A = this chain, B = another copy of it.
């Protein structure tokens, strides 16, 4: 069974924006054995959108439209899909009432143009939007005598994702004949892509019936394995066998089978009944922001200090001003003092610190852009790592948080 994803929005045809929802939708569709055969991106333009809808309906059994469901004049998806299908649109009075109620609950006045969001294609089922005002729609229909499953989904990811998972996937499962797909993901931290590939490619190339995809980002490599088979057992066996072989080859460079690094660190901290405090200089809060991405992180993460100025390094982590004057704010000594100081101040099991030159300005011959020190302190000792990271400011900051989290991970699995 083939699907087409149609992303709607003139901003997606500028040099500034990219559709990312389709990656999520592809993953979920793949899981139930549906392949994405086409993706189309089209602007908020009546003629082009209607044309794109017709083309998609002609060539794919499952068609997902996303975006263009808002209240403005630019939001044409409902009208254009209806036109492509040769159907009428009506305004649903219940939905209009629900919209007014939702605005009232948020203590905001609803402007009348919002009523447009209550337009429903004849025959469509309304999909409730729990995170926004624009409802989605699900439609089972025929197009040129062939069965079609059509979805209209809102553009914002936090609205689209739960709507698709909770309201579309269960419906699709009923209609799609099940094929069996197994996947494994291995996540690898702080390893050069070329080294990783040299070590793993002989292994995955020899694995039969498994498709391997490698994805590398700042300080992280993901290996994705996928197998399709006649039974779930065979597919699972194939990907599992390959994953185990590669885990054996790479050892503790492999940090998880899917969970992000901050999640693994959190799990390990909880297992060890330990707490963490941090002191960040060049990353300015990015490490803390990553550590608090998940609800429940308060069980092990106490908080810490953003010690961007030198005074705050002294104030919040007791780094002696003389030390900063002598060695500089970006130094192994200051990293160590930050980790120890913030640990002690916050009475945490571990203190983790980052100081570095994120650039693009501020680098010197001795301390170039990309130079980063990470330090990890427990009650007995403090480890300091010096690294030189490539790339722009955002990438260096990302690398630095990755390095810090990996230090803590290795400490926790080896202690």
A interface majority secondary structure: mixed
With the chains together, A52 CA to B37 CA distance in Å?
A: 10
The winner among A48, A52, A304, A392 for most chain B CB atoms within 10 A is A304
Q: Does A278 contact B (CB under 8 A)?
A: yes
Q: Let me know if A231 is at the binding interface, CB within 8 A.
A: no
In the complex formed, the residue of B with least CB distance to A358 is B295
Q: Is residue A415 contacting chain B, with contact meaning CB distance below 8 A?
A: no
Closest chain-B Cβ to A309's Cβ sits at a distance in Å of 4
Q: What sequence of 0s and 1s flags, for each residue 274-307 of chain A, a beta carbon within 8 Å of any chain B beta carbon?
A: 0001101011111111111111111001111111
How many residues of A are in contact with the other chain, CB < 8 A?
113
**Contact across chains for B52 and A198 when beta carbons are under 8 A apart:** no
The 8 Å CB contact of A301, one of B38, B217, B308, B390, is: B308
Closest CB-CB distance, A164 to chain B, in whole Å? 13
A70 CB within 8 Å of chain B: yes
Closest to A224 in B: B16
A35 to B278, alpha carbons, bound, how many Å? 48
Which residues of the other chain, B, contact A285 by a CB distance below 8 angstroms? 280, 284-292, 306
Beta-carbon contacts of A36-57 to B below 8 Å, as 1s and 0s?
Answer: 1111111111001001100100
Q: How many copies does the complex hold?
A: 2
Enumerate chain B residues within 8 angstroms of A26, measured Cβ to Cβ: 13-15
- Complex interface bits, A54-75 against B, C-beta within 8 A gives 1, otherwise 0: 0100010000000000111110
Contact present for A390 and B16 (CB under 8 Å): no
Whole-angstrom distance from the CB of A98 to the nearest CB of chain B? 15
- Report Cα–Cα, A360/B293, bound state, in Å: 11
Pairwise interchain contact B291-A284, C-beta atoms closer than 8 A: yes
A16-B224, A17-B215 known; A194-B113 Cβ under 8 A: yes
Q: Is A252 an interface residue (CB 8 A)?
A: no
Is A132 an interface residue when CB atoms closer than 8 A count as contact?
yes
Q: Is the CB of A311 within 8 A of B302?
A: yes
Contact A288 B284 (CB under 8 A): yes
A368, chain B: closest CB distance, angstroms: 11
* Residue from B132, B205, B280, B289 within 8 A of A73 (CB atoms): B205
Q: Does A110 contact B (CB under 8 A)?
A: yes
CB-CB contacts below 8 Å: A362-415 with B: 362, 388, 390-395, 397
Return 6 A-B CB contacts under 8 Å, by A number: A16-B215, A37-B45, A158-B395, A286-B289, A296-B361, A302-B312
A residues at B contact (CB < 8 Å): 9-18, 20, 23-24, 26-27, 30, 35-45, 48, 51-52, 55, 59, 70-74, 106, 108, 110-111, 113-114, 131-133, 156, 158, 192-195, 197-198, 201, 205, 211, 213-217, 222, 224, 277-278, 280, 282-298, 301-309, 311-312, 315-316, 345-347, 358-362, 388, 390-395, 397
Question: Which 10 pairs of residues, A with B, have the shortest CB-CB distance?
Answer: A285-B288, A284-B292, A285-B285, A303-B308, A15-B27, A39-B41, A285-B289, A303-B306, A286-B289, A303-B312
